[in-house]
Chains A and B, each alone.
Chain A
Amino acid sequence: MKTEELIRIDELCVHYEVEHTFFTHLSEAGLIELTIIENTSYIHTNLIGDVEKMMRLHHDLQLNMEGIDVVFHLLNKIDHLNSELSAAKNRLRLYEDDL
Chain B
Amino acid sequence: MAFIDYYKTLGIAKTATEAEIKKAYRKMARKYHPDVNPNDKASEEKFKEVSEANEVLSNPANRKKYDKHGENWKHADDIERQQQQQRQYAGQQQQSRQQSGGGYGDEGYSDFFESMFGGGPSRGNRNVKFRGQDYNAELQLDLRDVFITDKRTLTVNGKNIRLTIPAGVKDGQQIKIPGHGGDGMNGGPKGDLVIRFSISNNTDFKRDGDNLYATVQLDLYTAMLGGDLMVNTFDGKVKLTVTPETANGTKVKLKGKGFPVYKKDGQFGDLYITYELKTPTKLTEKEKQLFEELSKLRQA
Contact = CB atoms under 8 A, between A and B. Distances in A.
Interface of A: 53, 56-57, 60-62, 71, 75, 78
Interface string B20-61: 000000100110010110100000000000000000000000
A60 B27 CA distance: 11
Contacts of A56: 33, 35
B38 A60 contact: no
B33 A75 contact: no
Contacts of A78: 38
B29 A71 contact: no
Interface of B: 26, 29-30, 33, 35-36, 38
A66 to B, nearest CB: 14
A75 B33 CA distance: 12
A60 B33 contact: yes
Contacts of A53: 35
A71 B37 CA distance: 11
A91 to B, nearest CB: 22
Contacts of B33: 56-57, 60-61
A44 to B, nearest CB: 20
Interface of B, secondary structure class, is loop
A33 to B, nearest CB: 21
A62 B26 contact: yes
21 contacts: A53-B35, A56-B33, A56-B35, A57-B33, A57-B35, A57-B36, A60-B29, A60-B33, A60-B35, A61-B26, A61-B29, A61-B30, A61-B33, A61-B36, A62-B26, A71-B35, A71-B36, A75-B35, A75-B36, A75-B38, A78-B38
Contacts, number: 21
A78 B33 CA distance: 15
Contacts of A57: 33, 35-36
Contacts of A62: 26
A2 B30 CA distance: 39
Contacts of B30: 61
Q: Which 5 A-B pairs give the minimum distances between C-beta atoms? A: A53-B35, A61-B30, A61-B29, A56-B35, A57-B35
Contacts of B36: 57, 61, 71, 75
Given A56-B33, A57-B35, A75-B38, 11 more contacts: A53-B35, A56-B35, A57-B36, A60-B29, A60-B35, A61-B29, A61-B36, A71-B35, A71-B36, A75-B36, A78-B38
Contacts of B26: 61-62
A4 to B, nearest CB: 27
A61 B35 CA distance: 10
A60 B54 CA distance: 12
Contacts of B38: 75, 78
A27 B7 CA distance: 39
Nearest to B22: A62
B74 to A, nearest CB: 23
A29 to B, nearest CB: 17
A61 B36 CA distance: 10
B280 to A, nearest CB: 108
Nearest to B47: A60
Which of B29, B30, B33, B36 has the most A CB atoms < 10 Å from its CB? B36
Nearest to B29: A61
B27 to A, nearest CB: 10
Nearest to A52: B35
A94 B33 CA distance: 36
Nearest to A79: B38
Nearest to B39: A82
Nearest to B30: A61
B218 to A, nearest CB: 101
B34 to A, nearest CB: 8
